Amino acid sequence: MLEILQYQFMRNAVVAAVLVSIACGIVGSYVVTKRIVSISGGISHAAFGGVGLGYLLGVNPVTAAIPFTVAAALLMGKITRKTDISEDTAIGMLWSAGMALGILFVNLSPGYAPDLFSYLFGNILMVSSTDLWTMLLLDLIIIASALLFNREFVALCFDEEYAEVLGVPADAFYLYLLSLVAISVVVLIKAAGIILVMALLTVPAAVARDFSTDMGDIMVKASITGIFAAMLGLWVSYWFNISSGAVIVLILTLLFGAARILKSLRSS
């Protein structure tokens, strides 16, 4: 396993895997508990519009995706909570619009988009040093938010009406949570791609929830689960020359199945 670390791109991939797993562990725990996985899927696909905008403007697609994805998340939250449009309709509309804008922006951009496939399906082996610094900055934002507002987020996730009784501005923190989901999606884009990002955001937390009910403990276990799956996925993808993002997602799926079996055996 250690011999693959002789290559710079593998060392970058390992660091990216840790940063990705931290984002998954923290935000994914809120997503799974609040049951907003479908909204997270809509946000992740809308992020493709930001990637396309980056190509059009000639800047790093990940950098361009940050404000675009956060704006899409806030718009989705506003529509689902402030209008009579049903949640699934709003998600489907913005999901499709984001993807359509991304395709349009790529078509309008000069030249060829060589890395477009990696943004759709992920390739953690192509993560650059600039990407790592961006991931680190976004992870610090996520960690700081969880430390400062964990009480409010927990109240919002478990019982929104009770949170309002406690004086928590539920709408504001809901939009803040969606913004953190958007930031996490941007962190995950290079690792798993837009198509597979929802699995990395939800499966580690779902596995952790089978063995704990404390939010902090769930976050730690989800992060550890993500790191294990990412490291194993990197090793398998390197030796068999296959897609790293797809392998990581499949490993997480197997871990989830094993966790459910173990939980059922313990309860029987």
Domain assignment present for 221: yes
For residue 111, the 8-state DSSP code is: S
CB 94 within 8 A of CB 46: yes
**In this predicted model, what pLDDT tens digit does every residue of 101-145 receive, in sequence order?**
999 999 998 877 777 777 887 778 788 888 888 889 989 999 999
Distance between terminal CA atoms of the chain?
A: 38
| Alpha carbon distance 191, 233 (integer Å) | 11
Domain holding 81, by residue range, is 2-261
Domain assignment present for 52: yes
Domain assignment present for 237: yes
* R_g (Cα) of the chain, nearest Å: 18
CATH of the domain at 146: 1.10.3470.10
Domain assignment present for 255: yes
CB 195 within 8 A of CB 120: yes
Residue 268 pLDDT: 67
Output 27 or 166, whichever has higher pLDDT: 27
Q: pLDDT band for 11, please (50, 70, 90 cuts).
A: confident
- The answer on pLDDT for 1 being more than 70 is no
**In this predicted model, what pLDDT tens digit does every residue of 104-116 receive, in sequence order?**
999 998 877 777 7
Question: How many folded domains does the chain comprise?
Answer: 1
Contacts of 151 (CB under 8 A, 6+ apart): none
Domain assignment present for 268: no
